[in-house]
A = this chain, B = another copy of it.
């Protein structure tokens, strides 16, 4: 399977440096984030991608569907439509949707979860017209309250299966779901709903659920089994390495990229 580098892993690099470095390292797919893409320019990014022959596995990120706040909901919809336009221009494999957290002061987790399905329903026509695939990403339960109320892959599938298969699917990041006793069943169920796959590893003791993640192979997740499972479910796209890590961000990004390649090449190559 093909390696993709999510730019969060080497976030000190701007888009042109990221793309040049990836091309030099033989990495022909990237996961991009909206803010650095807009900083460099959407057109310039597209041109540079074409020039170097690099594809975009995901654009991060949209979603965050507010509840009970019309102004916030309108703003969210504008942002989400802009993200869809950008994903279309970049020909991204998926636009990553996060469920968003609880509204300020709320304890209504069920309500926030219902809002995710409603939000996707509202966004879907705009995305489908532009050929953009929406990928709902379940987040680790430690991030439930502040950024992602969709906590398991089965739960994400319960949402996305209401919508047509080519338009709405899931993004599966090993860090977020590795602990789930139902993970392997859920991956098999996901099948062609898997629009993107991300890897990050988990330390023995998770001191920082947001930025304490590890490079593949540094931690406790059986990532080889994970990659084989998504392939067995039918996924044939690139496998992104996306590592939020205060530690690795403090290193020279070129060292991190070299280590990502070294750590993943063996088990990605064994999965055809």
Measured CB to CB, the residues of A under 8 A from B are 101-102, 106-109, 113, 140-146, 151-152, 154-155, 178-181, 202-209, 219-222
Contacts and interface: CB of A to CB of B under 8 A. Distances in A.
B209 A109 contact: no
Contact of A202 (B145, B202, B204, B221): B145
Nearest to A201: B107
Contacts of A107: 220-222
A103 to B, nearest CB: 10
Given A141-B180, A142-B142, A145-B205, 6 more contacts: A101-B204, A140-B141, A140-B142, A141-B141, A154-B181, A207-B209
Given A102-B204, A152-B181, A142 B145 contact: no
A219 B106 CA distance: 9
A189 to B, nearest CB: 15
Q: How many copies does the complex hold?
A: 2
Contact of A109 (B101, B146, B179): B179
8 contacts: A101-B204, A102-B220, A106-B220, A109-B222, A145-B179, A145-B202, A145-B205, A146-B206
A152 B181 CA distance: 8
A187 to B, nearest CB: 14
Nearest to A150: B181
Given A101-B204, A107-B222, A204-B102, A155 B181 contact: yes
Sorted from nearest, which 3 A-B pairs have the closest CB atoms? A141-B179, A144-B179, A107-B222
B109 A145 contact: no
Contacts of A202: 145
Contact of A206 (B108, B142, B178, B220): B142
A155 B145 CA distance: 22
Contacts of A109: 178-179, 220, 222
Contact of A145 (B102, B108, B181, B206): B206
A220 B107 CA distance: 5
Contacts of A179: 109, 141, 144-145, 151
A109 B179 CA distance: 8
A240 to B, nearest CB: 20
Given A142-B140, A142-B142, A220-B107, A180 B151 contact: yes
Contacts of A108: 222
